Amino acid sequence: MPFRICKTFEIESGHLLSKHPAKCRFPHGHSRTVEVVLAADRLDANDMVCDFQTVKAALGAFLETWDHALCLNTADPHFAFYRQTYGDRIIPFEQTDPTSEAMAKAIFEELKRQLGLAAGNTAGRQALPPGVRIERVRVSETSTTWAEYFT
């Protein structure tokens, strides 16, 4: 029977959905909750799936770049203006509207990349125990809506 853990992050971010037919096509913001669920069939030597600090170290800096930033489709006709005006506070989504679904996938992929780097890393932070897998990433846009990505 597998074990699961969940690490939750909170960020404030904005987006606009250029393909949306209604109000969401205008810039607006959300208090987002990001939930990351990891699973393993066995616990490590410390009786954990993995240390929560490992998850925080793997994803914290990435999500910090999204905090108080505007996520934007690179195909948006105003992308260049926003990028020139606000610099790195504009988070590009390549040819994709930054929906909660797209955000969940982007966070999943970054976590997968970062945890892959952590797997052999014993210096500076706890190594990722063997057999740990990402089960899902859930992004809540409001208190009543969320999207998730899993493989």
Which structural domains are found in the chain, ordered by start?
Answer: 3-67+96-149 (3.30.479.10)
pLDDT tens, residue by residue, 25-36:
999 999 999 999
Amino acid at 124: G
pLDDT band at 135 (very low <50, low <70, confident <90, very high): very high
For residue 117, the model assigns a pLDDT of 61
Amino acid at 75: A
Collapsed DSSP state (helix, strand, coil) of residue 41: coil
pLDDT tens, residue by residue, 43-100:
999 999 999 999 999 999 999 999 999 999 999 999 999 999 999 999 999 999 999 9
Q: What is the mean pLDDT of residues 92-113?
A: 97
Upper half-sphere CA count for residue 118 (Cβ side, 13 Å): 25
What's the whole-model pTM score? 0.92
Choice among 55-64, 101-110, 119-128 with the minimum mean pLDDT: 119-128
- Spatial neighbors of 93 by CB under 8 A, at least 6 apart, are 71, 72, 73, 74, 102, 106
Rounded distance between C-alpha atoms, residue 55 and residue 61, angstroms: 11
Choice among 15-19, 23-27, 117-121 with the minimum mean pLDDT: 117-121
For residue 116, the model assigns a pLDDT of 79
For residue 118, the model assigns a pLDDT of 58
